[in-house]
């Protein structure tokens, strides 16, 4: 029986993934990989839109792949590969860019945010066309669902628009994908600034929980997380963003419901609650970190796994690209 297809990816933009990546994306990926034929990429071409040291980018790419596996993505069941290993991504991105409106790309809020943050000097054309490359990633695999955090929703909507436009113009080349966003965990916030999204590129490290950090460091960050003066462990996103964020993380990592955690800590202070969460974080990330470091100790083996998975990905991607080339009228090389 053929399973519906799933596609998702992450940028290798730091030495470690952060807990938002883990909860907002990786946990879903892990749970969906049986029911779907899944493709997971490390999107190194996307990472080039920011300044990088070449050797560091290579290392971050391996580290990201190792964390996927350590978190439970199985490269024998799911196709886990590096984006630049499959040439069709860049090629389809070009074709799709020719059917993307300038105004349409200009409406992407992530581009607006990033270009405002970096300033004109650092804002390159790649950052502008970034969502078109992401659309190519997804459409090459005839993807049915795209599990992502809430910040990627607009990009998946653009992908749908491009797929529909292409299909209307040239015939049904692409499956039109749907974004899958877990409402409760779609956005994990910075521990020090709980109204801002937790991000690999945060200015300060104190509010970011890294998967590969020493567990004692993560525990300390949890203990120092910003809360409020009420003293009651209660979910209220509006007036208690810090505590609500900690409750969301607690629930996601334990698979428990927020009310049951509120009950457990009723009448106890934030200190107890944070201690409990610190323990959860250490227990969850400790083994993931160890597995990731083990995998990274043998980069040759990791590279072999990534290469054979890239072959599997390329088979699917090349078939789609070849069909697209025919449909738009590129002359086949004889």
- Indicate which residues carry an active-site annotation: 114, 197, 200
> In this complex, which beta carbon is closest to ligand TYM, that of residue 163 or of residue 265?
163
- The site string for ligand TYM over 158-197 (x = CB under 6 A, - otherwise) reads ----------------------------xxx--------x
Neighbours of 53 (CB within 10 A): 9
User: CA–CA separation, 200 vs 225, rounded Å?
Assistant: 17
d(CA 327, CA 324): 5
Q: Beginning with the edge strand found earlier in the chain, give each strand of the sheet holding 145-147 in spatial order.
A: 79-82, 37-42, 5-10, 145-147, 178-180
Q: Give the residue with the Cβ less far from ligand TYM, 152 or 227.
A: 152
Which residue in the set 5, 6, 10, 163 belongs to the binding site for ligand TYM (CB under 6 A)? 10
For ligand TYM, the closer CB: 165 or 197: 197
- Check whether 150 is labelled as a binding-site residue: yes
**Kind and range of the H or E run holding 88:** helix 88-97
**Cβ proximity of 277 and 207 under 8 Å:** no
Quick check: 138 binds ligand TYM (CB under 6 A)? yes
Q: Which helix (H) or strand (E) holds 178?
A: strand 178-180
For 83, which DSSP code?
A: G
- Computed on alpha carbons and rounded to an integer, the radius of gyration of the chain in Å comes to 21
Measured CA angle at 215 (ends 21, 246), to 5 deg: 55
Pair of tokens at residue 189: 């916030």
Q: Tokens 């969301």 correspond to what residue?
A: 248
| Shortest distance, position 86 Cβ to ligand TYM, whole Å | 12
For the bound state, the minimum distance from the C-beta of residue 268 to ligand TYM, rounded and expressed in Å, comes to 27
Considering the complex, what minimum distance in angstroms separates the CB of residue 132 from ligand TYM?
11
11 labelled binding-site residue: yes
Q: 24 vs 75, which CB is nearer to ligand TYM?
A: 24
Which DSSP symbol is given to 236? B
* Residue 44 marked as a ligand binder: no
Task: Rule CB under 6 A: choose which of 86, 96, 146, 246 binds ligand TYM.
Answer: 146
255 is in an annotated binding site: no
Closest CA to 127 of 209, 210, 36, 45: 45
- Indicate the residue whose CB is closest to ligand TYM: 24
For residue 10, give the H/E element and its range: strand 5-10
Minimum Å distance from CB 11 to ligand TYM? 4
As given in the structure block, the two tokens for residue 234 are 């209660």
- Window 118 to 137, contacts with ligand TYM (CB under 6 A): 134, 137
User: With CB under 6 A as the contact rule, which of the stretches 3-11, 242-250, 270-278, 291-299 interacts with ligand TYM?
Assistant: 3-11
The residue among 53, 62, 48 whose CA lies nearest residue 16 is: 62
C-beta closer to ligand TYM: residue 130 or 270: 130
Binding mask 21-60 for ligand TYM (x = CB under 6 A): x--xx-----------------x--x--------------
What single-letter DSSP state applies at residue 7? E
Which residue, 12 or 276, is less far from ligand TYM as judged by CB?
12
- 198 marked among binding-site residues: yes
The count of chain residues that interact with ligand TYM, using the rule CB under 6 A, is: 26
CA distance 22 to 32: 14
- For Cα atoms 236, 24, 130, give the angle at the middle one, nearest 5 degrees: 120
- Binding site, annotated residues for ATP: 11-13, 20-21, 149-151, 188, 197-201
- Binding site, annotated residues: 11-13, 20-21, 137, 149-151, 188, 197-201
Binding site for ligand TYM (CB under 6 A): 7-11, 20-21, 24-25, 43, 46, 134, 137-138, 146, 148-149, 151-152, 155, 186-188, 197-199
């Amino acid at each position: 029986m053929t399973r519906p297809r799933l596609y998702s990816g992450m940028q290798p933009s730091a030495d470690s993934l952060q807990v938002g990546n883990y909860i907002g994306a990786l946990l879903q990926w892990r749970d969906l990989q049986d029911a779907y034929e899944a493709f997971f990429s490390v999107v190194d071409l996307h990472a080039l839109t920011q300044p990088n040291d070449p050797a560091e980018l290579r290392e971050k790419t391996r580290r990201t792949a190792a964390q996927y596996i350590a978190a439970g993505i199985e490269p024998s069941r799911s196709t886990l590969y590096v984006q630049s290993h499959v040439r069709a991504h860049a090629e389809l991105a070009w074709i799709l860019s020719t059917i993307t409106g300038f105004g349409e790309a200009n409406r992407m809020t992530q581009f607006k945010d990033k270009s405002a943050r970096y300033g004109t000097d650092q804002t390159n054309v790649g950052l502008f066309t970034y969502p078109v490359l992401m659309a190519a990633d997804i459409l090459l695999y005839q993807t049915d669902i795209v599990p992502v955090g809430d910040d990627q929703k607009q990009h998946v909507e653009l992908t749908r628009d491009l797929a529909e436009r292409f299909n209307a113009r040239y015939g049904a080349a692409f499956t039109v994908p749907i974004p899958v966003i877990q409402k409760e965990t779609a956005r994990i916030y910075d521990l020090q600034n709980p109204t801002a999204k937790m991000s690999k590129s945060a200015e300060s490290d104190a509010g970011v929980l890294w998967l590969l950090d020493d567990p004692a460091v993560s525990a300390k960050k949890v203990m120092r997380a910003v809360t409020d003066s009420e003293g009651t462990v209660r979910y209220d996103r509006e007036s208690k963003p810090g505590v609500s964020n900690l409750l969301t993380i607690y629930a996601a990592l334990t698979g428990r419901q927020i009310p049951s955690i509120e009950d457990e800590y009723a009448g106890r202070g934030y200190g107890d609650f944070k201690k409990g969460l610190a323990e959860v974080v250490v227990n969850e990330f400790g083994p993931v970190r160890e597995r990731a470091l083990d995998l990274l100790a043998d980069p040759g083996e990791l590279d072999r796994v990534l290469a054979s998975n890239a072959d599997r990905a390329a088979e699917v991607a090349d078939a789609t690209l070849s069909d697209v080339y025919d449909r738009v009228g590129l002359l086949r090389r004889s």
